[in-house]
Amino acid sequence: MMHSQIENEQIVERYVRNQLTPEERQAFEEHFFSCDMCFEKLQEAERFRAGIREAASRGLLNDESRSTLVGALSTRLVWAFAATTCVALLCIAWMYLLLVPKLRGERDRAVAKLQAERQSRAVPERTLPVEQAEANVPLVMLQASRTEEEPASILLPPGSKNLVLWIEIGPSRYRAFRLEVLSPQNRLVTSVDHLVRGPYGALAASLPAAQLPTGDFLVKLTGQDPPPASVAGEYKLRVLRP
């Protein structure tokens, strides 16, 4: 919000009289939190309006005088009318200097809250781990296993982070699959859900190499969608390390 708009649209006076729209009020509050000049104008308007209310409650102003002063606030004739008021009204208005620490404290708390929110959003961005690209990712192509067949073997080089399984499947009614890697004791080692065919009609899954120690595994592929689920294929895998 610009100063020219604040002056031309009497934003300070309308803010004190609670006549701003929610959008205008929010824009003005964001502005005066960082603008000392507008903040001082707001304090003066608050003190003057509070003095009018106090004088009216004490019987120092009748309804006509009060309406005149309130109207003067919105038409920028505040000081011309204020000069005609009694000394008691001015003294009472000065008593509301106590409002200054309160308004300033509210502004400081709001600024501190905004800064804390910005810092809280910035910290995750700085602390997010950066994933390093991996060259020469090991890949093994699996074929449906038979009892007498040897498992598909893959040698995982030192430092390998992932192992890619490539599975070519024939026609199937399933659109999505679940892949499970089982140990020789039939214990689940790892799994991947929501596998779908890629552009070449095959399934590809990346598994964490740390979860695959040296040894033999059974890879079970289950059709999931549409239900009911059923086994779509089983594959033998042998992991070797240097």
- Express each pLDDT in 10-49 by its tens digit: 888 888 788 889 888 888 888 877 788 888 887 887 777 7
The whole-angstrom separation of Cα 24 and Cα 132 is 47
Q: Is residue 74 part of a domain?
A: yes
Contact 52, 70 (CB under 8 A): yes
> What is the extent of the structural domain holding 35?
3-127
SS3 41: helix
Longest dimension (CA), the chain: 110
40: tokens are 């001082």
Q: DSSP 3-state helix, strand, coil percentages of the chain (rounded to 5)? A: 45, 25, 30
Q: Is residue 133 part of a domain?
A: no
Most confident of 32-36, 148-152, 161-165: 161-165
Q: Is residue 108 part of a domain?
A: yes
Instruction: Count Cβ atoms within 10 A of the Cβ of residue 192 and give its class: 0-12 exposed, 13-18 middle, 19 or more buried.
Output: middle
Q: Which of 127, 151, 184 is the last residue of a domain?
A: 127
